[in-house]
């Protein structure tokens, strides 16, 4: 018998902030109550069954005009893999120059998502802006 549980989730799709009571059997949602629209239902179900998050952080740059470069995931990743991704990127050293949009790490942790640079970083000492 799969475990029956209930959770309260606040929907964040619009400022209404409806509170949904979600009934679950094991990891699957069986009932959602308290919402007022269908967008909310989609969000709540995903949030409970497979919460995803945009991942964003920085990576260390060598030889660049900045010591770090901001990066992001091309698509959301599972919420519970955020710290794994952060630790994976912590060991990376990227050499300048970096172009905005450039892939920094392909298919991070086998999640099917790339990590790309969100700004350009020029080489230290070279003239002209990146």
> Which residues lie near another protein (CB under 8 A)?
10, 12, 14-17, 53-54, 56-58, 60, 66-68, 70-72, 79, 82-83, 86-87, 89-91, 100, 118-120
| Of residues 23 and 118, the one with the C-beta less far from another protein | 118
Question: Cβ of residue 16: shortest distance to another protein, in angstroms?
Answer: 4
In the complex with another protein, which residue's Cβ is closer, 24 or 47?
47
3-state secondary structure 70-108: EEEECCCEEHHHHHHHHHHHHCCEEECCECCCCEEECCH
SS3 106: coil
Residue number, 1 or 129, with CB nearest to another protein:
129
Q: Omega of the bond prior to 97 within 30 degrees of 0, cis?
A: yes
């Amino acid at each position: 018998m799969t475990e029956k549980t209930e959770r309260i989730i606040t929907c964040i799709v619009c400022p209404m902030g409806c509170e949904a009571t979600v009934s679950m059997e094991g990891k699957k949602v069986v009932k959602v109550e308290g919402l007022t629209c269908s967008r909310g239902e989609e969000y709540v179900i995903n949030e409970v069954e497979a919460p995803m998050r945009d991942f964003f952080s920085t990576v260390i740059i060598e030889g660049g005009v900045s010591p770090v470069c901001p990066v992001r995931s091309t698509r959301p990743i599972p919420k519970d893999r955020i710290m794994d991704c952060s630790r994976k990127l912590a060991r990376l050293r990227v050499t300048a120059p970096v172009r905005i949009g450039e892939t920094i790490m392909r298919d991070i942790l086998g999640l099917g998502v790339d990590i790309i640079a969100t700004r350009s970083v020029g080489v230290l000492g070279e003239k002209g802006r990146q």
